[in-house]
Amino acid sequence: MKHRFSGFYAAILSGFADDGAFDEARQRALCAYVLRQDLDGLYVGGTTAEQTLMQISERITQLQVVAECAKPKQARLIAHVGTPSLRAAEILAKAASEASYDAISALPPDESHAARFDLVQDYYKAILQASGLPLFVYHYPSPARRAFSFEETSALLSMEGVAGIKFTSEDLYLFSRLRRAFPDRALLFGKDEIYAGGALFGADGGIGSTYNLVGGLYRAVHQCVEEANLDEAKRLQALSCELVVHLLGANLLPAIKRVLARRGVDCGPCRLPLGLGDPAAVKGLDDFIDSGVLDGFLN
């Protein structure tokens, strides 16, 4: 890993009060715990932070609070400023710059908001200008989200001011093509459960929700791949995959918060309508954590 943004970033959750209001104290408690992980920085305000359920003013406050928490640790900060409204995204991008973030990122507008690809490029150019910070484009081709082709992704990565990409996809073929085509861009892999695949094809690090809990696990996977210790890489990646299976079964974001709460980290509930899944799945998650197989990585 050689890029200035190489490393591992927790896509940090949001701290909420019991009534659902943004809670600065709980956000600080969460930051303190996550920053004890073996990480290089934080990715703030993304999907994991429930940003679609937050007001712009709350997101700005969160950017400011997390920046204050991260400064003593000298952790790098990437602000997710994406929102369907370009005007709102520009406001968030400017706020990230004012809070001394290192870079910004954004999910692209979907096709209902930007029917043509050139409008996506204009969106990214506008938030680049608003922040004056390096930009990470975001490839996350899940249902209802925009999927980029190799040609489109290449066009975005070639834009002035773009530092790299948050690549949250199982498409390792596309990822490997981008790695070869853009050796000078930071390719940060966003699929925790198959991070070893990203590392094998040249990831510069990763960004993920489970990094809130076991950030050091992914650094260990990466190191094993670099050292060609593939048996250990597979063993460690299997732990990540099993964790993700249990978290998804119990509903990912509330499930992560449950694990944190059981470890003494009070970051509050998720915003409604997000809630825990089936009780049997929640018990399965509890049993998996209590088994101790992740104790070497849980703080």
Task: Please identify every residue annotated as catalytic.
Answer: 138, 166
Q: Which of 88, 48, 90, 84 is nearest to 66 (CA)?
A: 48
2 is written with which tokens?
């050689």
- Sequence-distant (6+) residues with CB within 8 A of 195 are 189, 203, 206, 208, 218, 221, 222, 237, 240
Question: SS3 for 189?
Answer: strand
Alpha carbon distances (Å) from 125 to 77, 98, 149, 213: 20, 18, 19, 34
Residue type, 138: Y
Q: How far apart are the first and last CA of the chain?
A: 25
Strand blocks (E) in the chain: 7-11, 41-44, 76-80, 103-106, 135-139, 162-167, 186-189, 205-208
- Sequence-distant (6+) residues with CB within 8 A of 208 are 9, 10, 11, 190, 191, 192, 195, 218
Q: Exposed/middle/buried for 291, CB within 10 Å: 0-12, 13-18, 19+?
A: exposed
